Copies of this chain bind each other. A is one copy, B any other.
Amino acid sequence: MQLNEIYAPIQKDLVAVEDGLKSVGIVESPWLNDLLGYALKGGGKRLRPALAILSACFYDYNLERLLPMAMAVELMHLATLVHDDTIDNSSVRWGRPTVNKVWGMEKAVLLGDYLFAKAGDLAVSTEDMRVIKLLLQPLMLITNGELAQAASAFKLEQSREHYFFRISCKTAALFVFATESGAVLSKTPEKSTQILRGYGHYLGIAFQIIDDILDFIGTEEEMGKPVGSDLAQGIVTLPALMLMERYPQDNPVKKLFQGGDKKENIKRATEMVCNSTITQECFDVASDYRTKACQNLKNLPAKEARAVLTNLADFIVSRWR
Residues of chain B within 8 A of A35, CB atoms compared = 147
Contact-size category for A: 35 or more
Residues in chain B near residue A144, CB distance under 8 A: 29, 32, 114
CA–CA, A80 and B256, complex, Å: 36
Q: Which B residues are in CB contact (< 8 Å) with A124?
A: 129, 132-133, 136
If A124-B133, A129-B127, A136-B121 touch, does A113 touch B143 (CB 8 Å cutoff)? yes
**Interface residue? A8 (CB, 8 A):** no
State the majority secondary structure of interface residues on A. Answer: helix
Known: A87-B106, A147-B107. A140 touches B127 (CB 8 A): no
Interface string of A98-113 (1 = CB under 8 A from B): 0000000111011111
**A26 interfacial by beta-carbon distance below 8 Å:** no
Cα distance, A113 to B190, chains bound together (Å): 31
What CA separation (Å) do A86 and B121 show in the bound complex?
25
Q: Which residues of B contact A142 (CB under 8 A)?
A: 113
Residues of B within 8 A of A151 (CB): 30-31
**Contact residue among B31, B120, B121, B139 (Cβ-Cβ distance under 8 Å from A148):** B31
Contact with B along A195-226 (1 / 0, CB 8 A): 00000000000000000000000000000000
Which B-chain residue is minimally distant from A120 (CB atoms)? B136
Is the C-beta of A282 less than 8 angstroms from some C-beta in chain B?
no
Q: Flag whether A290 is at the interface (Cβ < 8 A).
A: no
Which residues of chain B have C-beta atoms less than 8 A from A114's C-beta? 139-140, 143-144, 147
Whole-angstrom CA separation of A146 from B112 in the bound complex: 12
The answer to whether A187 has its CB under 8 Å from any CB of chain B is no
Task: Indicate if A232 sits at the interface (CB-CB under 8 A).
Answer: no
Which residues from B are CB-within-8-Å of A307? none
In the complex, the chain B residue whose C-beta lies closest to that of A140 is B117
For this complex, 6 residue pairs linking A to B, each with C-beta atoms less than 8 Å apart, are: A110-B143, A110-B147, A117-B139, A120-B139, A124-B132, A124-B133
**Interface residues, chain A, CB within 8 Å of chain B?**
29-32, 35, 83, 86-88, 105-107, 109-114, 116-118, 120-121, 124, 127, 129, 132-133, 136-137, 139-140, 142-144, 146-148, 150-151
